[in-house]
Amino acid sequence: MMHAKGYPEATLRDERGMVLVVGLLLIVVLMLAGTTAVLTSTTDMGISANYKTGSQAFYAAEAGIEEARARLKTNAPSESYEIADSHPTNTGWSAYIGDTAKTSHRGYDSGNSMHVRVSSLQATLDYTVRTVHQTNVSGNILYWGDLNGDGKNERNTATGQNIYLATSYGGAGSANKTIKVELARIPPITAPAALYVEAATAIQGTSTYINGTDPPGCGTSNLPGVATSLSSSTVTSTGNPTVTGSTSSTWSVTGGATNMDVQAMIDSWKDSANFSYTFDDNETQTGMDWGVPVVGAQSDPSSCDVSNIVHYNMNGMEIQLAGGSSGCGILLVEGDLELNGGFNWHGLIIVSGSVTIAGGGNKNITGSVIAGGSTQADLVGGNSSIIYCSAAINNQTANRPLRALSWKEE
Judge whether residue 133 has pLDDT over 70: yes
pLDDT at 151: 96
231 contacts 208 by C-beta, under 8 angstroms: no
Contact present, 333 and 351 (Cβ < 8 Å): yes
The predicted model scores a pTM of: 0.84
- Comparing 95 with 74, which gets the higher pLDDT? 95
Question: What is residue 3's DSSP assignment?
Answer: -
DSSP letters, 332-367, are EEEEEEEE-SSEEEEEEEEESS-EEE-SSS-EEEEE
Sign of CA dihedral 361, 309, 149, 132: positive
Report the chain's C-alpha Rg in angstroms: 34
Dist. CA 65–CA 203, nearest whole Å: 49
- Looking at residue 170, its pLDDT comes to 96
CB environment 268-293: b (16+ within 10 A), e (fewer): bbbeebeeeeeeeeebeeeebebbeb
pLDDT at 393: 97
Average pLDDT, the chain: 88
- DSSP H or E run through 184: strand 175-184
Q: What share of the chain is helix, strand, coil (3-state, %, to 5)?
A: 20, 35, 40
- Determine the average pLDDT of the residues in 133-161: 97
Strands 403-409, 154-156: pairing is unpaired
